[in-house]
Amino acid sequence: MSEGESRDYQSIIGSTISYLLEKYNVTGTRIGWLMIASIFVDAWDLYAITLFGTAIEKALSAPPVLFGLAAAATQGGAIVGTVTGGWLTDKIGRRKSFLLTMLILTIFAVLQAFVTNIGELIGIRFVLGYPIGMDIAVGYTYIMEYMKKGNREVMGNRWQIAFASGDLAGALAALILIYLLVPPSIGWRILLGLGAVWALVILFLRLGIPESVMWLVGQGKFREAKRLAEKTLNDPLPMLPDIDPQIPKAS
C-alpha cells in the first residue's frame, strides 16, 4: 500500500469514528451497566477479605503484616491491569477483553477460597487484581464508544453506586454467615469464593454483547464493521469500502 493510500484510509477511519461517536447510542446503556456491575464484584472482593481478617490469620498461621499484604495484593495487581489493560484491549478487541476479565475473576476468586498458606493467597489475589484494574480500562472504553456525549459521564459516575453496593452486600453476607453459626475458619472461604458467583453471572450476561464497531474500523476490518453496524445500528456505513485494507500500524 502506498503512503497516499494509507493516508486516505486513515482519513476514512477518522471520519467514520467521528460519525459513529456523534450519531449513535445503541446498546451503550446496557453495556454501561454491565461495566458498572463488574465494580460490584471488585468492591466485594476488596472488602470481603477484611471481614474475616482474624480468622484468615489463624487459619493460615499468618502474621498481621502478611495478611495486610494479602488484602492489599489486589490493589497491586489492579495497578498493573490498569496500566496494561488499555494496550491489551486495543490488541485483542473490546469484547474479548470484556469477557477475559470476568473469566479471570471467576477462576481466581474460586482459587483463593482453597488456599493452604498465606503465600498462595497473596499470589492469587495479586493475579485477581489484574482483571479488576483492566476491567476499568475496558469498561470505560466501551462506554466512550457506545454512548453519546453527556450520557457517558452520567453512566461513568454510577460506579459509586456499584462500589457501595458491593461493600454492603459483602457485609450482609458476612453477617448471615455469622448468624447461621458458620465457623469463621470456613466462613471466610465461602465469602471470598462467592465473588466467583457474581463474576460468572456477569460473564454470561456479557456473552451477548457485540464487538465495538469503532474498534473494528480502527483495525481496518471494514467488512466486519459494516456487517455489525448494519445488524446493530441498521446502518451499513456506506462511507467504508467493502474491503479489509492492510493499514500499516504507527510505530
**φ, ψ for residue 220 (rounded to 5)?**
80, 15
- Please give the Cα distance from 45 to 169 (Å, whole number): 11
DSSP SS3 for 242: coil
The structure's pTM equals 0.80
**Dihedral sign, Cα of residue 56, residue 62, residue 64, residue 65:** negative
Highest average pLDDT, of 10-14, 80-84, 140-144, comes from 80-84
20 burial (CB, 10 Å; 0-12 / 13-18 / 19+) is buried
Going by C-alpha positions, the residue among 221, 227, 215, 214 that lies closest to residue 243 is 221
Across residues 91-100, what is the average pLDDT? 85
Predicted confidence (pLDDT) at residue 250 exceeds the cutoff of 60: no
- Give which of 119, 121, 113, 125 is closest to 185, Cα–Cα: 113
- Tell whether the model's pLDDT for residue 25 goes beyond 60: no
CATH class of the domain comprising 28-209: mainly alpha
Q: How far is C-alpha 145 from the chain's CA centre? A: 15
Question: Which pLDDT score is estimated for 218?
Answer: 80
Percent of the chain with pLDDT over 70: 87
Q: What does the domain layout of the chain look like in residue ranges?
A: 1-25+211-251, 28-209
233 within 8 A of 213, measured Cβ to Cβ: yes
Q: Which of 95-109, 147-161, 225-239 has the lowest mean pLDDT?
A: 147-161
- The values of phi and psi at residue 32, to 5°, are -60, -45
Place of cell 493460615: 60
Average pLDDT over residues 214-232: 82
Is the pLDDT score of 15 beyond 50?
yes
For 137, 152, 155, 231, 245, the CA distances from 28, given in Å and listed in that order, are 16, 9, 9, 15, 28
Residue 190 has pLDDT above 90, yes or no: yes
Q: For all residues of the chain together, what is the average pLDDT? A: 83
CA-based nearest residue to 203, from 80, 48, 95, 125: 95
Task: Give me the mean pLDDT over the 121-125 stretch.
Answer: 95
Q: Of 169, 128, 142, 164, give the one whose Cα is nearest residue 32.
A: 142
Could you tell me which residue, 249 or 136, shows the higher pLDDT? 136
Give the model's confidence band at 28: pLDDT under 50 very low, under 70 low, under 90 confident, else very high. low
Q: What is the pLDDT of residue 251?
A: 44
Contact predicate 222/241, CB 8 Å: yes
Q: Are 225 and 216 in contact (CB under 8 A)?
A: yes
pLDDT tens for 127-163 read 999 988 888 777 777 777 666 666 666 776 777 788 8
Residues in the chain: 251
CA distances from 116 to 34, 65, 113, 123, 171 (A): 33, 18, 9, 12, 24
pLDDT at 243: 81
Give the phi and the psi of residue 149 in degrees, each rounded to 5. -60, 140
pLDDT at residue 112 in the model: 93
pLDDT class of 21 with cuts at 50, 70, 90: low
